Amino acid sequence: MGEILQGSKFEKDFIERTYASIVSDISIAFSELVANSWDAGATSVLITLPDKKGDFIVIEDNGSGMTDKEFQQRWMTIAYNRVAHQGEFIEYNSSKGKAKRLAYGRNGVGRHSMLCFDSSYQVETWREGKCNKYVISVDGGDSAFSVVEHTTTEKSGSGTRLTVKAVKKTPRKSEVMQTLGYRFLFDPEFSVFVNDEKIEFQNNIAPVVSKQIPLKLRPYVEVSIYQIPDGEKTTATNGIAFWAGTRLIGNPSWNIGNIRVEDARRKFALRHLIVVQADCLIDDVHYDWSCFNITEPVREAFAAVTRFVRDFRNGYYKGKVTEVKKEVIRKNIDRIETLPIPALYELKGFFENYLEQRPEIDIEELNIIINALVSVLQSRNGMSLLEKLSAMDLEDIDTLNEVLNEWSISDIRTVLDEIDQRLKVISAIEQLCNDRTTDELHVLHPLVSQARWLFGIEFDNPNYTFNKALTTVLKTLLQSQRKENIDIEWAKRPDLAIGSDFTLSSVCVEDVDENEIFIVDKILIIELKKGGFTIGRQEMNQAEEYIDAIYKGNKLNCKPKIKAFVVGDTVSPSISTKKTQEDYGEVYAYTYKQLVQTAGKRLFNLKDKLTVRYQELNAKDYLAEILGEPRQMNLPIAE
């Protein structure tokens, strides 16, 4: 190596910028300084705090102290590697003789915590009968920090005393005691006093459960769960605390990495402190002990601890959750029974997911939420949004984007849910109409007649309802063909008229005339033929008779617009599939296959556009992932 021609220089604030958290955070500063005492084998630390700014802070311990040579090698070396030079463990004299403890020091930065309070400080350390006193200053230039004074005196015993003026920051006793009390789980022989008051650590509290959790990449972590007494329930004393060598990494929190294990405001959180002893991860700790470096072993440990804590929490609430759920269902059973099957599945999913996240919820709060949710499920807002989309030309992308720009993620999710439910209905109809063993009367016909959107978006309207007068007209017209001795709950389907080879459904939309009297404005008639049936001229003529009987018979005291659909397996090629009756009636003939293919194509196109848009808005949302996964179809069962 050649002659050094020019050495490096240091800015005065080099240490402040390099180790910002250590020299700016009082909590970290005192943690580092007490950790130095621990690493020196001390069993007692005496801290004196000032009453006002400008007075002295003193930290004195009974550790091993340093000789002048050791001070120069250790204290005056930037980024001193303690493990390389002294090993991982410290031997010290306990009341029971020689003992060993795991050292905190790794990166040689803790001593710079003195600069949190002033740009100069004093170190007094004694050992082997000699006491060395140094004044350290940060001035920049050739050294990041320098010894500006050094004196030597005689002194017995061993230890270290740090003195600094409270110029930059003035610590408060309560904050220092709280920080040190919650950051260290020392053995009973390690005592810390602040202004002569001893900090009581948590080592005399027995955990309600303690378990070693084995890992694949490291040996294990040990999780201990403590229940906090009512008098100690503060946010500062709860959370999940990770420790390495009985020292806290960061602060107790209910977040593990980026995962929130529990809401700190909840009952479980306020009553529990969870200590994770992770000595096997000590080499993954950040230099200032504020967090872990995110490595694969750390990720594995985080995941294992998260599972264990959540399982414990679920067990803690298990019986309570079941009772709360049952009671809320009892309170709302009448309204819940009116929901359609897809809505019941949504409600069931809500119970499962929400109660997993909020198992501590009480009956009153959950009852309010379920009341609101049932109202939303009953209104089916997704249908109105879907109606707006379906009314557009599928090629009109600009218009579609214009609508989507006005919608929130929640709106799009609502529509996607509605589309998924309809696609399930389409799939079910496809399977059932091709199966000759299908009970058409009880399954296929009620299913199709309820899915009015199959016949066009104009019929996808919640205002289409049963009308007693309308049904009476049709039943009278079909008197000779009707079969009343059918095993069906007529109260639930009063809109149906059933014959030997057909099912007829009739619904209408009411409006008000110029005198604000309610009248029937539009009528929809759906006639579903039995499997294997071919629609011919006779069936089309019969549908025309339905329309004439209603319109010209004037039984409803109005002149509504009427559309009738006749649906079967096939349509005779010799007839027209559409017939118009002046300006008041239209008759259409379709096959089941035509209905489901047309509706399915439209829905799939809409779903594709919505899914792309949804992923653009929130690519990390769980629904965007679920939409790409195969799911088993649940066949909806008509009432």
* 3 state SS of 581: strand
Residues 6+ apart with CB under 8 A from 186: 38, 192, 201, 203, 246
pLDDT for 617: 41
Cβ atoms of 456 and 594 closer than 8 Å: no
**Residue among 259, 185, 262, 189 at smallest CA distance from 224:** 185
Q: What is the pLDDT of residues 465-482, one digit of tens each?
A: 667 777 777 777 666 554
Tokens of 211: 């378990």
Q: What is the pLDDT of residues 429-463, one digit of tens each?
A: 777 776 666 666 666 766 776 677 777 767 776 66
Residue 340 banded pLDDT, cuts 50, 70, 90: low
Cβ neighbour number for residue 226 with a 10 Å cutoff: 21
Cβ atoms of 72 and 175 closer than 8 Å: no
| Nearest-angstrom CA–CA distance, 77 and 75 | 6
pLDDT for 380: 55
Q: Is the pTM of this model over 0.85?
A: no
Residues 6+ apart with CB under 8 A from 119: 137, 138, 167
Residue 281 banded pLDDT, cuts 50, 70, 90: very high
Tokens of 210: 């303690």
* 3 state SS of 445: helix
pLDDT for 194: 94
* 3 state SS of 585: strand
pLDDT > 90 fraction of the chain, expressed in percent and rounded: 21
Tokens of 133: 């006193």
What mean pLDDT do residues 36-65 have? Answer: 93
Cβ atoms of 56 and 67 closer than 8 Å: no
Most confident option among 151-155, 403-407, 518-522 = 151-155
3-state helix, strand, coil in the chain (%, to 5): 40, 25, 35
Residues 6+ apart with CB under 8 A from 42: 61, 62, 63, 92, 159, 190
Q: What is the pLDDT of residues 360-378, one digit of tens each?
A: 777 888 888 888 888 777 6
Residues 6+ apart with CB under 8 A from 224: 207, 209, 210, 274, 275, 276, 277
Most confident option among 80-94, 102-116, 281-295, 376-390 = 281-295
What mean pLDDT do residues 384-391 have? Answer: 52
Tokens of 189: 């022989």
Residues 6+ apart with CB under 8 A from 95: 189
535 pLDDT exceeds 70? yes
What mean pLDDT do residues 143-166 have? Answer: 93
Q: Tell me the one-letter amino acid at 248.
A: L
Minimum mean pLDDT among 156-160, 250-254, 279-283, 384-388: which range?
Answer: 384-388
Average pLDDT, the chain: 77
| Nearest-angstrom CA–CA distance, 245 and 448 | 68
Cβ neighbour number for residue 579 with a 10 Å cutoff: 18
Residue whose structure tokens are 């229940």:
227
Going across the sheet that includes 561-568, the strands are 496-498, 502-512, 518-529, 561-568, 585-591, 578-581
Minimum mean pLDDT among 50-54, 285-289, 409-413, 630-634: which range?
Answer: 630-634
